[in-house]
Amino acid sequence: MTFNPKKLPTVLTSQELIDKAFRRASKVTGRNRKEKALNKLSTISNVLENYFSRIVSEHPSYDNLDSFYREMIDAIAGVGQIKKSLASLKWANSMTQKIITKSIKRIKGGQDPDAVLRATYGRIASIIEQIDDELRFLNEAKQKMREIPTLSSDFTVVFAGYPNVGKSSIVSAISTVKPEIASYPFTTRKIYVGYVDHGRGRIQIIDTPGLLDRPIEKRNRIEKRAILALRHLADTIVFIIDPTETCGFQLEKQFSLLFEIKNNFDVPVVEIYSKSDLHDRRDRLAVSVYTGEGIDDLVNLLKNLAETKSEKIATNG
């Protein structure tokens, strides 16, 4: 199951929701006091029921979600907390519906419609106020989840490496996506997705935040985004090495990360030297976004990998 975070609903605060329901009720009329009160209650019932079920139903089923999305949402907002908050919305829905049903019975049974209505408004407002934190949390989670990219099923190449080695510069030179480039580490803080056309379709190119060479449990939230892309999305990894160390990190550390990545992910790893205008190592493909050296070779290499893969798919039926 895939996921489009842009489709998630905006969530009102408790006060906004109370105002919305009561404002709609204030416009309702009836032939007499009793009928008017009953109509107001059924309007509030509909507004709340529709509202709560829309919020709940527009969230995906987190247990059936593709692992990349589930783990990404967990890293960004916390799947457990989202589920708990949705459960409290369901609770508020059933509580408010029960209160309204009882009030309707009281009015039909002859109690003063205005007095029942006043009491009902108070109780409904108090239930909704109790889930204010959850409503606010769901809205914040939605805002945060907007960073999650929409992905295609095209052959996917994930660019990885130490911070500041030139990943985004190369991704920007070869694909449609233009992430920010700067001369300090951790410029890229989320996943960027771009495309390169090849003979039979397109290649999905993913730029990731820089990784330090350290155990997974010590990685920060930004690095985790890169790990998730490597683990779940990569058909091939392009590992960028900056032999000039102008990135601020020793070559030895970069090689140690490369070793780690080759050991942990079961896909081909293409090793590239960046900033070739500043050095003359040529025992690997060397690219420079300034002189253009190696850029066409890199693109051709990726196209060949993608086409070999699509041939394999074609022959395997």
Contacts to Mg ion by CB under 5 A: 167-168, 187-188
Q: Which is nearer to ligand GTP, 78 or 185 (CB)?
A: 185
- Counting Cβ atoms within 10 Å, is residue 219 exposed (0-12), middle (13-18) or buried (19+)? middle
Instruction: Please state the closest distance from residue 247 (CB atom) to Mg ion, in A.
Output: 11
Indicate which of Mg ion, ligand GTP, none lies near residue 288 (CB less than 5 to 8 Å, by partner kind). Answer: ligand GTP
Binding map of ligand GTP across residues 162-201, x = CB under 6 A, - = no contact? -xxxxxxx-----------xxx-xxxx-------------
Give CA–CA dist 75/194, Å, rounded: 22
Binding map of ligand GTP across residues 281-310, x = CB under 6 A, - = no contact? -------xxx--------------------
Reduced to 3 states, what is the DSSP secondary structure of residue 271? strand
Distances from the Cα of 46 to the Cαs of 20, 53, 133, 138, 268, in angstroms? 12, 11, 23, 22, 55
Q: Which is nearer to Mg ion, 179 or 294 (CB)?
A: 179
Q: Which is nearer to ligand GTP, 198 or 224 (CB)?
A: 224
Indicate which of ligand GTP, Mg ion, none lies near residue 294 (CB less than 5 to 8 Å, by partner kind). Answer: none
The answer to whether residues 13 and 129 touch, using CB atoms and an 8 Å cutoff, is no
Helices (H), 59-131: 67-76, 79-108, 113-130
Instruction: Please state the closest distance from residue 284 (CB atom) to ligand GTP, in A.
Output: 14
Q: Which is nearer to ligand GTP, 120 or 175 (CB)?
A: 175
Task: Return the range that interacts with ligand GTP (CB under 6 A); candidates 40-48, 110-118, 254-262, 270-278.
Answer: 270-278
Do the bridges between strand 155-161 and strand 285-286 make them parallel or antiparallel, or are there none, so unpaired? unpaired
Give CA–CA dist 308/296, Å, rounded: 18
Give CA–CA dist 89/5, Å, rounded: 20
Residues in contact with ligand GTP by the rule CB under 6 A: 163-169, 181-183, 185-188, 209-210, 274-275, 277-278, 288-290
